[in-house]
Amino acid sequence: MAARSIWTGSITIGLLNVPVKLVAAVKRKGIAFNQLDSTTGSRIRYQKVAEATNEVVDSDHIVKGWDLGGEHWVVVTDEDLAPLAPAKSKEIGIDRFVPADQLPPTIYEASYILLPGKIAKPYALLARAMAGTNQVAIGRFVMRQHEHLAAIRSDGQHLTLSTLAYPDELVDPAQVEDLETVIGVQLSDRELAMAGTLVEAMAEPFDPSQYRDEYRESVMALIEAKAEGRTIDIDAAPDRAVVVDLADALEASIEAAKASRSRHPSARSAKKAAETSSPRRSAKSA
């Protein structure tokens, strides 16, 4: 699949220069509806209206303003902001490598695939050098007039880039009141043991092909049916039993997980292979 690059430049690590192209790693497939007038069927459009006059304002008369409170504003023009904008650059400047497990999960934003530029050897060198080190490269680059903090990873052959949130943008869990309720919660040894068993019973390699956006698929099926004048039957979501005892819920979940795993095709294949490889007993005793 030919990918359209959204940024072209190079990774710089000291004197090493690695030409790369940036392409999106995720292609969103959400469903977006337009708003219509139910009486005429015409599309609803939005306009920018001044609060004081309730009149539509021409885009040439719209300026940026920072709210100081009490209807007091600081107007900032594009000319004010121009000297502060990050300098245009075609480099992803790497200043350090850090252990991957030191990056909190909440710091990751958008994901991209890094493709090699016209010269592939520096790309292959960096990808292989980083492989197996559990290190990610941290640096900055400018894209769409905004400076991004970024982390680059390698799987041994390919490089990926994730933009990162800045530390002061992350919410500190210690400052979230509702999380205080877990402090001091008493758990029995039996509950902990059963919870660990449940985790083990459900553990398996990640297979992304097992997951799909069922809601989006259902909505598209509904749209297609309505466009063709058909109706479709929609099954109601099953009611979940009310759980009273945590240990009972864990025990039931473990049994359900074990039963589900026994029905999985991989489990049946393993059982069949084991039966085939085991020596058959002779009907007659020696």
Task: Report yes or no: 128 and 120 within 8 Å, Cβ to Cβ.
Answer: no
Confirm whether 145 is domain-assigned: yes
Helix or strand run (H / E) with residue 7: strand 7-13
Task: Report yes or no: 114 and 159 within 8 Å, Cβ to Cβ.
Answer: yes
Total tally of structural domains belonging to the chain: 1
Q: Reduce the DSSP state of residue 82 to 3 states and report it.
A: helix
Confirm whether 42 is domain-assigned: no
For residue 157, the enclosing domain spans 7-26+85-167
Confirm whether 111 is domain-assigned: yes
Conformation bin of residue 38: beta by default, left when phi > 0, alpha when psi is -120 to 50: alpha
Strand pairing class (64-69; 16-24): unpaired
Nearest to 114 by CA among 73, 67, 150, 77: 150
User: Residue 115 belongs to a domain with what CATH number?
Assistant: 2.40.290.10
The model's pLDDT over 93-144, given as tens digits with 9 standing for 90+, comes to 999 999 999 999 999 999 999 999 989 999 999 999 999 898 999 999 999 8
Confirm whether 212 is domain-assigned: no
The model's pLDDT over 152-210, given as tens digits with 9 standing for 90+, comes to 999 999 999 999 999 999 998 888 888 878 888 898 898 899 899 888 888 888 888 88
Confirm whether 1 is domain-assigned: no
Burial bucket for residue 2 (CB in 10 Å: 0-12, 13-18, 19+):
exposed
The model's pLDDT over 43-78, given as tens digits with 9 standing for 90+, comes to 999 899 998 899 999 999 999 999 998 889 999 998
Residue % of the chain over a pLDDT of 70: 87
Confirm whether 114 is domain-assigned: yes
Confirm whether 31 is domain-assigned: no
Confirm whether 139 is domain-assigned: yes
Spatial distance between the Cα atoms of 97 and 120, rounded to a whole number of angstroms? 22
Task: Report yes or no: 201 and 187 within 8 Å, Cβ to Cβ.
Answer: no
